[in-house]
Amino acid sequence: MTAFADIAAAAEVWMASHRPLAAIGLTLLGYAVGHAAWQRSGRHPLLNPTLSGILLVAVALMLLGGDYVRYFEDAEALHLLLGPAVVALAVPLYRHLPALRARAAALILALGVGSVVAVVSVLAIGAALGATMPTLLSLAPKSATAAVSMAVAAETGGIPPLTAVVTIMTGIATALLAGPLLALLRITDPIARGFAMGLTGHGIATARAFQEGEATGTASGLAMGLNAVLTAVLVPLVLRSWAA
Amino acid sequence: MLYAFLVLILLQLVGEAMREALGLPVPGMILGLLMLLGLLVWRGRRLGEQHAVPGELDAVARGLHAHLGLLFVPAGAGVLAQAEVLAVQGTAILAAVVLSAAVTLGVAARLALGAGERPGRLPLPADATAAEEVRQ
């Protein structure tokens, strides 16, 4: 027991000077294990590597006694790469522009209706299950990317930290549901699959969509970007008419 | 690699500056995406090479998107720190999020397919096929 405490104390001293490196290493390790498990399972949709990575990091932090806030600060270099990764979505988007243009009418309809359904369905289901007003306001923008959903929640009287949690949960739920649900509906077209994933579950679902190929991932990235803009405009309008 | 990253980061910074200056409700990275798309379209027209992308930029984009899911792990694990917000109404929130995601996915996918298209024209991708096999 004392020996263990000694080792833990020594590890803590060593870690203190290598925290960012250790946090990034832990993140890569968790994701790599999740990714390997997903590959070995024959790419099973429920073994999502992002979710596995998050859970493995959480378990490691619990065992090592680290706290999440400090972990996030230490691993921020990886988080910052999301910016260039989103800007770089322009590259596959440019390549798939003709295919997407040919489907413009259907995609615009899917965007408009899908965005309304994302907001109204969560309000209706939440209200039916007895969620209170601040909770409902926090849930409304959950399909938009976290930067937008949190800003919308702050503006409309929701609780931004709760919105952050439900936004991540929505991305993960979408990533897990997409495979089985779209198979059930027999929707095999990559653009339709990807567009629905990005609209519903933003970046986390877009990562899931890229697992199916570039066309699916690109359609997802496009829908994520468009729904970020539309959700910012739509949520205040829906809430106004809903309250009236 | 060097120039591609420089372009991506500069465009995101310009996007952030535009968002702040104009008070736009869109994240700077999405404005950066739109600017890069505009630049690629302009370059393609000028060079007469439609849909060709500079090799270096293409390689960096592919690298970033191959493991996009990795970049969401810090935010996802960081959010667990705030999971106590789910202590109240957690079940209702979880149910609302999952059911709403399912309904939205289904509606958006069916509409994105287009009115003239019928489901199931193409074979299912590998992931979806795996789901099918599990069910059978």
- Please indicate whether, in this complex, the C-beta atoms of B97 and A35 are within 8 angstroms of each other: no
Q: Which residue of A has its CA nearest to B118?
A: A187
The shortest CB-CB distance from A225 to any of B30, B79, B92 is to B30
Burial class (CB in 10 A: 0-12, 13-18, 19+), A242: middle
- Please indicate whether, in this complex, the C-beta atoms of A87 and B70 are within 8 angstroms of each other: no
The shortest CB-CB distance from A185 to any of B44, B110, B115 is to B110
A188 in helix, strand or coil? coil
Q: Region A132-161: what's the mean pLDDT? A: 94
- Please indicate whether, in this complex, the C-beta atoms of A126 and B34 are within 8 angstroms of each other: no
CA–CA dist A129, A187 (Å, integer): 30
- Residue A174 scores a pLDDT above 50: yes
Q: Write out the two tokens for B57.
A: 């930029």
Q: Which residues of A touch B8 (CB under 8 A)?
A: 83-84, 87-88
Q: What was the ipTM of the complex prediction? A: 0.90
Q: Region A52-68: what's the mean pLDDT? A: 90
- Residue B123 scores a pLDDT above 80: no
pTM above 0.80, yes or no: yes
**Structural contact between residues B97 and A173, judged by C-beta atoms closer than 8 angstroms:** yes
CA–CA dist B16, B30 (Å, integer): 9
Mean pLDDT score of chain B:
86
Q: Which residue of B has its CA nearest to A90?
A: B37
The predicted structure's pLDDT at residue B135: 36
CA–CA dist B24, A105 (Å, integer): 26
**Structural contact between residues A43 and B130, judged by C-beta atoms closer than 8 angstroms:** yes
- Residue B116 scores a pLDDT above 70: no
Residues contacting residue A61 through CB under 8 Å, at least 6 positions apart: A67, A68, A71, B77
The shortest CB-CB distance from A82 to any of B71, B103, B104 is to B71
CA–CA dist A193, A175 (Å, integer): 11
Q: Region B46-70: what's the mean pLDDT? A: 91
The predicted structure's pLDDT at residue A64: 85
Q: Region A69-91: what's the mean pLDDT? A: 93
Q: A38 — contact with chain B (CB < 8 Å)? A: no
Burial class (CB in 10 A: 0-12, 13-18, 19+), A18: exposed
List the single best residue of A93, A187, A216, A229 to mutate versus B (max B Cβ within 10 A): A187
Q: A94 — contact with chain B (CB < 8 Å)? A: yes
